[in-house]
C-alpha cells in the first residue's frame, strides 16, 4: 500500500466537502442561540467559537451566561459569543479550507466565515490543524501549540458497557485484543452473560473519538506508544486492527448519538463502545429501565483535552483577540467550569471540584489511573486513516431504496439524483450499495461499488430515473431487506436506507406486517439488518412517526431532508457504514 498524505487529504476533503455543509438534521452542526432565542443575531462584535462536539452543551450554556451580561471591551465595544459545533475533523477541515481560500485570494481576512476561537476534542486533531495550516502558510505559526492553548475541559476515552459485561472487559489486560479474539462475552469472562461481542466507535475521518480510538488500536497491536509508531508499523499491523474492526456494528459522526443508540438498542446491537467518559455519566443519568452502565478505563488511553485555540492569524483582529482573551478567562472561571463538571466533563482549571456525578453510581471513577497517550506524527495519522479507509475498515453493503413516484418529479428527484451521484463518487473500496427504485412497481436491484466500472454503472442508472406512479413503500422496504438476507455478508455492515416523500399507497403488505417481518432480522437475530429512513421534501407528504418506528425496529434512525439539505444528510449517513 502506498501511504500518501496527499492522497489521504484529498479523499478526506471529498468526504468533508459533503459532510460539513452544515446540516442541522442529524445534529452534526448547531448554531447556538443567544439568551433571547435569536439564533446568535445580536448587536456588537461577534466572537465565533468553532468547537468540537464534546463541548456542545458547555458552549451553549456558557454563551448564554456571558451574553446576558452584555460584555464590553475597554474601549466600549460590545461583543458576544456564538457557538458553532461540528465534528473535530470538520472543524479542522473548515479552518483549513478557509485558510486555503485566503491564500488564494478568493476571500479576505475579515470574512465573517472565519472563527475567532477554535477547539477540537483532543490533541491529535489539534496537531493536524497545526500541520495543515503550516502547509498553507509555511513558517507563520498561525495555530498555537498544545501548551499555548488554555485547557477548557477534558474527558478520557473509555469503553462503555453494561455492568454485567464491564467486569469481564475490565479484567483483561488488553480490551481491544479481547474484542478481536472472542465472539462472545462469556468467552472473555465465564461470569459474563452469553452476549455476542459487538463494538461501535465513530468514523475516524470525521470524529475525534473515532480517530483516538483508531490510534489506540494501533498502539495496542504494536505494543508501542502512539508517538513511537511509524508508517511501516501501520502497514505491518493493519491486519490486527482489521480483526478489531470486524466486530463493528456501525460507525457514525456523533459520539453522543452512538452512546445514546447503545442505550436505546441494547447489547445485541452493541455490547461495548468507545466513547468519552462524560457519556457514561449521561447514559446513567438518562437511563429509564434501571440498566447501569460502567466505564472501562484502559491501562493507556487518550485524555481528550479540549483547548481554546486562539489563532495568531490575520483573520483575528485586535478587537477580536481582546474579546476572545476575555472569553477564555470567562470560560475558565470557577462558576463556568462548574457547568463542565455538571455535564460530566472534567474541569480544565485546577482546584475546581468535580460534581457529584463523578462517582461509581454513575459508572465512573473520580480518580482513574491510566497512562495518557500523546498524538502520533501527522504523517503517521494520515497513514492510519488511509489504512482504515482502504483495508481495516469493516466492509458495508447498503440497499438504497429510492422513491421515484409521481410526487418526486421535478426539483425533488433532481436533488436526489445529484445526491446519489455524490454518494457513488465517494464510495470507498470497502463499500458497495444496491439501488432499488420504487413507485407503483419495485425496480430491479442495481449493484454499485467503488470501482470505475461500478461507479459508471451506478451513474448511468441514476441518470435514467424518472418520477411516475404511486408509492409502494412497505413492499419495497421488505424487498430490500429480503434481498440483503439472500445476499448477506457476515464480514460487512448490512443495512437498508429508505428515502420517501410520501405515505404508502400501493403495497400489498400492511405496516404492521412489515414491522413483524423486519423484527425477524433485528440485532437479536444472527443476521441483523439495520434500517434507516429519510422523510423527504417537507412535512405533510410523509408520516414521520411511521418512518421512525420502521427505523427503531431494526437499530437505525430516522432523518428528515429536503432538496437543499439532502446532500449533506446523505453524506453523514454514508459515514455510518
Q: What is the pLDDT of residues 501-510, one digit of tens each?
A: 999 999 999 9
**Of residues 526 and 354, more confidently modeled:** 354
* Highest mean predicted confidence (pLDDT) among 278-292, 317-331, 545-559: 317-331
Q: How confident is the model at residue 421 (pLDDT cuts 50, 70, 90)?
A: very high
pLDDT score at 32:
42
The answer to whether residue 54 scores a pLDDT higher than 50 is: yes
User: Residues 172-177: what's their mean pLDDT?
Assistant: 95
pLDDT score at 41:
63
Examine the domain organization and report whether 264 and 144 are in the same domain: no
Q: Count CB atoms within 10 A of the CB of residue 195.
A: 18
**Of residues 573 and 458, more confidently modeled:** 458
pLDDT score at 12:
39
> Does residue 27 form part of some domain?
no
The pLDDT tens digits for 112-167 are 999 999 999 999 999 999 999 999 999 999 999 999 999 999 999 999 999 999 99
Identify the weakest region by mean pLDDT among 116-130, 341-355, 391-405, 520-534.
520-534
The answer to whether residue 31 scores a pLDDT higher than 70 is: no
> Does residue 39 form part of some domain?
no
Examine the domain organization and report whether 236 and 378 are in the same domain: yes
> Does residue 8 form part of some domain?
no
pLDDT score at 539:
64
Identify the weakest region by mean pLDDT among 31-35, 209-213, 415-419.
31-35
The answer to whether residue 560 scores a pLDDT higher than 70 is: yes
Examine the domain organization and report whether 366 and 445 are in the same domain: no
> Does residue 312 form part of some domain?
yes
**Of residues 568 and 405, more confidently modeled:** 405
> Does residue 1 form part of some domain?
no
Burial class (CB in 10 A: 0-12, 13-18, 19+), 147: exposed
Domain of 259, in residue numbers: 155-304+361-390
pLDDT score at 567:
86
The answer to whether residue 14 scores a pLDDT higher than 70 is: no
**471, 439 in Cβ contact below 8 A?**
yes
DSSP 500-549: ESS---S-SS-HHHHHHHHHTTSTTSSS--EEEEEEESSTTSS-HHHHHH
Q: What is the CATH number of the domain that holds 501?
A: 3.40.50.410
The answer to whether residue 18 scores a pLDDT higher than 90 is: no
> Does residue 463 form part of some domain?
yes
Sequence-ordered strand ranges (E) for 120-156 = 151-154
Examine the domain organization and report whether 427 and 554 are in the same domain: yes
The answer to whether residue 11 scores a pLDDT higher than 70 is: no
Examine the domain organization and report whether 445 and 560 are in the same domain: yes
277-286 CB burial, b ≥16 within 10 A, e <16: bbbbbbbbee
User: Residues 317-340: what's their mean pLDDT?
Assistant: 98
Examine the domain organization and report whether 233 and 273 are in the same domain: yes
> Does residue 20 form part of some domain?
no
**481, 525 in Cβ contact below 8 A?**
no
Could you give the CA distance from residue 92 to residue 113 in angstroms, rounded to a whole number?
A: 14
Q: How confident is the model at residue 540 (pLDDT cuts 50, 70, 90)?
A: low
pLDDT score at 501:
93
The Cα-based distances of 372 to 224, 304, 368 in angstroms read: 13, 9, 11
Examine the domain organization and report whether 50 and 149 are in the same domain: yes
Residue 337, strand partner residues: none
The pLDDT tens digits for 253-266 are 889 889 999 998 99
**152, 307 in Cβ contact below 8 A?**
yes
The answer to whether residue 527 scores a pLDDT higher than 90 is: no
Examine the domain organization and report whether 260 and 340 are in the same domain: no
pLDDT score at 8:
43
> Does residue 3 form part of some domain?
no
User: Residues 86-105: what's their mean pLDDT?
Assistant: 95
Q: What is the CATH number of the domain that holds 330?
A: 3.40.190.10
Burial class (CB in 10 A: 0-12, 13-18, 19+), 423: buried
Examine the domain organization and report whether 507 and 460 are in the same domain: yes
pLDDT score at 538:
73
Examine the domain organization and report whether 542 and 416 are in the same domain: yes
Examine the domain organization and report whether 55 and 120 are in the same domain: yes
Residue 30, strand partner residues: 85
Count structural domains, the chain.
3
pLDDT score at 526:
80
Examine the domain organization and report whether 442 and 499 are in the same domain: yes
Amino acid at each position: 500500500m502506498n501511504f500518501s498524505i496527499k492522497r489521504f487529504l484529498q479523499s478526506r476533503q471529498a468526504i468533508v466537502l459533503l459532510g460539513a455543509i452544515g446540516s442541522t438534521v442529524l445534529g452534526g452542526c448547531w448554531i447556538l442561540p443567544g439568551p433571547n432565542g435569536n439564533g446568535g443575531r445580536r448587536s456588537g462584535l461577534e466572537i465565533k467559537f468553532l468547537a468540537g462536539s464534546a463541548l456542545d452543551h458547555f458552549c451553549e450554556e456558557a454563551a448564554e451566561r456571558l451574553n446576558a451580561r452584555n460584555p464590553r471591551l475597554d474601549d466600549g465595544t460590545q461583543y458576544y459569543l456564538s457557538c458553532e459545533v461540528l465534528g473535530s475533523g470538520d472543524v479542522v477541515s473548515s479552518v483549513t479550507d478557509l485558510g486555503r481560500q485566503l491564500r488564494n485570494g478568493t476571500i479576505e481576512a475579515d470574512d465573517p466565515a472565519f472563527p475567532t476561537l477554535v477547539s477540537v476534542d483532543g490533541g491529535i486533531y489539534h496537531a493536524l490543524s497545526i500541520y495543515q495550516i503550516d502547509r498553507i502558510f509555511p513558517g507563520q505559526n498561525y495555530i498555537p501549540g498544545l501548551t499555548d492553548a488554555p485547557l477548557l475541559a477534558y474527558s478520557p476515552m473509555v469503553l462503555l458497557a453494561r455492568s454485567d459485561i464491564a467486569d469481564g472487559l475490565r479484567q483483561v489486560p488488553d480490551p481491544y485484543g479481547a474484542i478481536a479474539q472472542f465472539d462472545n462475552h462469556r468467552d472473555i469472562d465465564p461470569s459474563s452473560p452469553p452476549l455476542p461481542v459487538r463494538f461501535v466507535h465513530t468514523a475516524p475521518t470525521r470524529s475525534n473519538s473515532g480517530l483516538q480510538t483508531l490510534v489506540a488500536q494501533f498502539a495496542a497491536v504494536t505494543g508501542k506508544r502512539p508517538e513511537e509508531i511509524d508508517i511501516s508499523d501501520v502497514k505491518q499491523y493493519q491486519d490486527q486492527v482489521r480483526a478489531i474492526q470486524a466486530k463493528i456494528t456501525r460507525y457514525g459522526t456523533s459520539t453522543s448519538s452512538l452512546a445514546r443508540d447503545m442505550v436505546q438498542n441494547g447489547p445485541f446491537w452493541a455490547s461495548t463502545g468507545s466513547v468519552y467518559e462524560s457519556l457514561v455519566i449521561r447514559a446513567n443519568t438518562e437511563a429509564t429501565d434501571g440498566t447501569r452502565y460502567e466505564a472501562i478505563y484502559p491501562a493507556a488511553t487518550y485524555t481528550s483535552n479540549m483547548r481554546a485555540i486562539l489563532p495568531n492569524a490575520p483573520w483575528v483582529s485586535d478587537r477580536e483577540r481582546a474579546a476572545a482573551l476575555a472569553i477564555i478567562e470567562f470560560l475558565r472561571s470557577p462558576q463556568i467550569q462548574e457547568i463542565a463538571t455538571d455535564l460530566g466533563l472534567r474541569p480544565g482549571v485546577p482546584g475546581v471540584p468535580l460534581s457529584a456525578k463523578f462517582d461509581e453510581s454513575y459508572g465512573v471513577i473520580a480518580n482513574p489511573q491510566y497512562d495518557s497517550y500523546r498524538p502520533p506524527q501527522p504523517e503517521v495519522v494520515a497513514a492510519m486513516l488511509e489504512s482504515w479507509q482502504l483495508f481495516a475498515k469493516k466492509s458495508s453493503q447498503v440497499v438504497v431504496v429510492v422513491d421515484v413516484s409521481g410526487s418526486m418529479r421535478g426539483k425533488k428527484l433532481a436533488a436526489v439524483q445529484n445526491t446519489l451521484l455524490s454518494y457513488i463518487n465517494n464510495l470507498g473500496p470497502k463499500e458497495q450499495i444496491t439501488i432499488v427504485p420504487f413507485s407503483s412497481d419495485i425496480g430491479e436491484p442495481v449493484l454499485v461499488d467503488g470501482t470505475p466500472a461500478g461507479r459508471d454503472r451506478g451513474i448511468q442508472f441514476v441518470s435514467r430515473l424518472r418520477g411516475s406512479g404511486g408509492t409502494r413503500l412497505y413492499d419495497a422496504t421488505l424487498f430490500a431487506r429480503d434481498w440483503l438476507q439472500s445476499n448477506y455478508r457476515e464480514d460487512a455492515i448490512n443495512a437498508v436506507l429508505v428515502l420517501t416523500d410520501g405515505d404508502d399507497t400501493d403495497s400489498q403488505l400492511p405496516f404492521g406486517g412489515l414491522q413483524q417481518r423486519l423484527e425477524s432480522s433485528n440485532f437479536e437475530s444472527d443476521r441483523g439488518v439495520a434500517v434507516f429512513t429519510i422523510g423527504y421534501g417537507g412535512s405533510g407528504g410523509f408520516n414521520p412517526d411511521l418512518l421512525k418506528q420502521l427505523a427503531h425496529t431494526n437499530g437505525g434512525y430516522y432523518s428528515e431532508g429536503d432538496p437543499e439539505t439532502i446532500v449533506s444528510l446523505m453524506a453523514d449517513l454514508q459515514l455510518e457504514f
